[in-house]
Chain A
């Protein structure tokens, strides 16, 4: 018997693969029909849910090419639920069907490998002078329909505590639309305004495809908010804002993200619009009435084989009170400044100030121009980049008699900072260490000159 060389199976596999491709190539337009589909694995998933994902495969006429495409799409859809760690289709010839003359009948097999249904993570975070510990537990595919139940707990020195229970489920077994219901209880230290903020409430939203190929969220939230723990040195504004309020609001977020990477885009653009209307639902509409709109956009473009990337980001927002006295709550106002938005300023220390408290504003605009460059001696795929930036922003109280004046003022006298630094793109977050130089600032703001460290998912 002849000895089989060690690489013989590999060669055979390659030959089989080559023959399959050749056969498929030759028969691309051959009419085929999927007469049956057998599902193997996926024991944690309801059969009705799986049928809803694959039923349409059995009803349509195909050619070889369109069938393979349909199976590929179906596998991607199934993978998108995150409840399988492996999805594969197999095809075999079936007995010829009398009712399908001239069509090759095929039997399909869907092989599903279940992912773990439980996840538990614990850890500690250190940063920004805060030490926090977190625990997160999730039950996935709880009822066999890609539902998930997540519980997050976080205890830290700044965000004193945060507990979130979230239940998420596909809407009508759809891979496009999901419904999320969250219960939130958190207590956080708002040191820039000498108080603590306590939130308890519910948020329900539907997430799905939106206009122009974007995604959208439509939802409702009801929150009991308490401004408490007022510090001894707190200003009159913060003391007057202390107390309870109940917000009942509907919101809509539309996002079109064509960036190649949301953490560190080198090509593409994104637009995000967020609107919130509070206090205008029938019954239980809360004691806070306002409309809030925000827009955010980013464009990134690379040159010279991604050795240089230029990113331009703009944000803006407006808060309009519908209260009888036209006043807004400190909890709802915008805050600006910090390593993650307008660099060169202390965290949330831009805009109006009463004594030493940055009390937030009702209108803001911010923009940033960043230039990222490959470091000498480092490949262009390296996560480390040199960063040059200039950013500007304005945060103001709104002149309700003449809102246009406020909007004009946003752009007329923006606070500006520039700097240089390094960024590091980690798979889960972006790190920045910049040397910042404030160039212009309002007298009420807290600019900072020197090193500033930023960690987050989104930057100006």
Chain B
């Protein structure tokens, strides 16, 4: 018996001339398939004919029981989910699924970046089998920023506005780079927001019991903050996030907000996508809804954060967020 936390002995396997059931090649023990000696044919024949009594499958632990895949399209793995989700990427994906009218066909599982084969790639969609779209087999794991996602989404929700990369990618990059940097700066690097918005929500996500004194959220909060600094250094190309860098990040975000507000004004449509909300609207909503609804403070904590003020001042964007919120909540 090996407790999964404390395996101490080693065991192995030599020749396996006749395996009753071989685990998939990707998980099998490398030495399992090595032939060290040949089993005499008489013994092999006797062993081959020996019947194996098969019982029903062992019941799964409750933690492994999910709604039957046949009733669902798949599973959405998102960052820790609470009533006030603070992860824009996860909000975006859930919003897209809701706007596309397919959200109810998915099981949503709160998770962490560790759940993704590509580390740090939560959220994603995990399907029961590889979907076939236009005679192409797509992967089982579908990341929302991938081409496969848009193809698969179009196949299951044809009425949802199609994503046009040529037209929307430049606008989406405004959100995914400029708004993201300002969000990361304001949430993780402003101490007051970090301690009053991020840490309590992280703790809430990790506290199954009423006693939420686990040291884990504090460890994770620290590592998240560290990762946030790394992301901003990489994004801005500077070795240290100085006051000047911070101002630059906020200024870039303001330009992005202006561009989005102008698009709404010029197009005279309700949504950035046109008459119906699309991927870009969901992306903007993912950032702006929490910015508007959480009590973000500035660096010194003596006033409202610049980012929040900037968003609140752009009425067209506030109206857009409220419109999407009404739709998403009513779905």
A, B bound:
yes
A residues within 8 Å of B by Cβ? 125, 127-130, 159, 188, 190-192, 194, 197, 199, 223-234, 236-237, 239-246, 248, 279, 283-287, 289, 294, 296, 315, 317, 322-336, 338-341, 346-354, 356, 359-362, 364, 366, 394-400, 406, 413, 415-416, 433, 435, 437-458, 460
A159 to B24, CA, bound (A): 20
Which of B4-12, B250-258, B323-331 forms part of the interface with chain A? B4-12
Residue from the list A322, A323, A339, A356 in contact with B27, Cβ < 8 A: A356
**Do A334 and B23 touch (CB < 8 A)?**
no
Interchain CB contact (< 8 A) of B117 among A230, A289, A448 = A230
Contact A279 B209 (CB under 8 A): yes
Q: Which residues of B contact A159 (CB under 8 A)?
A: 7
Confirm or deny: B62 has a beta carbon within 8 angstroms of a beta carbon on chain A.
Answer: yes
Given contacts A240-B109, A448-B16, contact A234 B55 (CB under 8 A): no
Write 26 A-B pairs (CB below 8 A) sorted by A numbering: A199-B5, A232-B141, A236-B64, A240-B111, A242-B112, A246-B219, A289-B209, A323-B208, A334-B4, A335-B3, A340-B2, A348-B2, A350-B58, A364-B1, A397-B60, A441-B52, A445-B21, A447-B20, A447-B52, A449-B18, A451-B17, A452-B13, A453-B13, A453-B14, A456-B9, A456-B11
B60 to chain A: which residues have CB within 8 Å? 237, 352, 354, 359, 397
In the complex formed, the residue of A with least CB distance to B3 is A334
Residue of B nearest to A400 (CB): B62
Quick check: B11 and A399 within 8 Å, CB to CB? no
Using CB atoms, name the residue of chain B closest to A444: B57
| A-B interface contact total, Cβ < 8 Å | 307
CA distance A334 to B5 in the complex (A): 9
The winner among A244, A279, A294 for most chain B CB atoms within 10 A is A244
Query: Which 6 residue pairs across A and B have the least CB separation, nearest first?
Result: A456-B9, A128-B12, A129-B30, A339-B11, A129-B31, A242-B115
Indicate if the CB atoms of A437 and B55 lie closer than 8 Å.
no
The closest CB in chain B to the CB of A457 belongs to B9
Tell me the smallest distance from the CB of B128 to a CB of chain A, in Å: 9
Residue-wise, chain B 182-217 has the 8 Å CB interface mask toward A (1 for contact) of: 000000000000000000000000111101011110
Contact yes or no, A451 B216, CB < 8 A = no
Name the distance in Å between B24's Cβ and chain A's nearest Cβ.
5
- Shortest CB–CB separation between residue A411 and chain B, in angstroms? 13
Given contacts A242-B115, A397-B64, 7 further A-B contacts (CB under 8 A): A224-B216, A241-B63, A335-B4, A339-B13, A340-B10, A400-B62, A442-B58
Residues of B80-125 at the interface with A, using a CB-CB cut-off of 8 Å, are 109, 111-112, 114-117, 119
B3 to chain A, nearest CB (A): 7
Cα A441 to Cα B58 in complex, Å, equals: 10
Stretch at the interface among B32-40, B169-177, B233-241, B302-310: B32-40
Of the listed residues A125, A231, A397, A433, the one surrounded by the most CB atoms of chain B closer than 10 A to its CB is: A397
Complex-state Cα separation, A273 to B295, whole angstroms: 53
Contact present for A228 and B11 (CB under 8 Å): no
A329 touching B119 by the CB < 8 A rule?
A: no
Contacts of B215 in A (CB 8 A): 246, 284, 286
CB contact between B17 and one of A279, A335, A450 (< 8 Å): that residue: A450
> Chain A nearest CB: distance from B158 CB in Å?
27
Complex formed: what's the CA distance from A400 to B119 in Å? 34
Q: Which residues of B contact A127 (CB under 8 A)?
A: 10, 12, 31
State whether the Cβ of B225 lies closer than 8 Å to any Cβ in chain A. Answer: no
CA distance A225 to B3 in the complex (A): 14
In the bound complex, how far is the Cα of B3 from the Cα of A360, in angstroms? 10
> Does the CB pair A246–B216 fall under 8 Å?
yes
* Given A130-B10, A236-B66, CB of A231 within 8 Å of CB of B219: no
Candidate in A128, A248, A336, A445 with the most chain B CB atoms within 10 angstroms? A128
Q: Are A330 and B63 in contact (CB under 8 A)?
A: yes
Given A239-B109, A330-B4; A129-B29 close (CB under 8 Å): yes
Chain A residues within 8 Å of B21, by CB: 445-448
Contact of B58 among A231, A330, A395 (CB under 8 A): A395
Nearest-neighbor residue (CB-CB) of B9 within chain A: A456
**A447 / chain B contacts, CB cutoff of 8 Å:** 20-21, 52
Q: In the assembled complex, how far is the CB of residue A356 from the closest CB belonging to chain B, in whole angstroms?
A: 5
Contacts of A452 in B (CB 8 A): 11-14
Contact A360 B61 (CB under 8 A): yes
Give the CA-CA distance A286 to B109 in the complex, in Å.
22
Closest to A195 in B: B114
Q: Which one of A188, A229, A248, A328 lies within 8 Å of B63 (CB-CB)?
A: A328
Whether B1 and A362, one on each chain, are in contact in the complex, defined by CB atoms closer than 8 angstroms, is: no
State A109–B73 Cα separation when bound (angstroms). Answer: 83
Q: A226-B114, A450-B17 are in contact. Are A340 and B64 (CB under 8 A)?
A: no
**Bound-state Cα–Cα, A329 to B62, Å:** 10
Distance of A354 Cα from B37 Cα, bound (Å): 33
| Known A-B contacts A340-B2, A451-B14, A454-B11; A333 and B52 likewise in contact (beta carbons under 8 Å) | no
Give A251 to B23 CA distance when docked, in angstroms. 35
Note all chain A residues with C-beta closer than 8 A to B211: 285
List the B residue with the shortest CB-CB distance to A356: B24
Does A128 contact B11, Cβ atoms closer than 8 Å?
yes
Least CB separation from B207: chain A residue: A287
Contact B4 A360 (CB under 8 A): yes
| Smallest Cβ-Cβ distance to B5: which chain A residue | A331
Does A289 lie within 8 Å of B208, measured CB to CB? yes
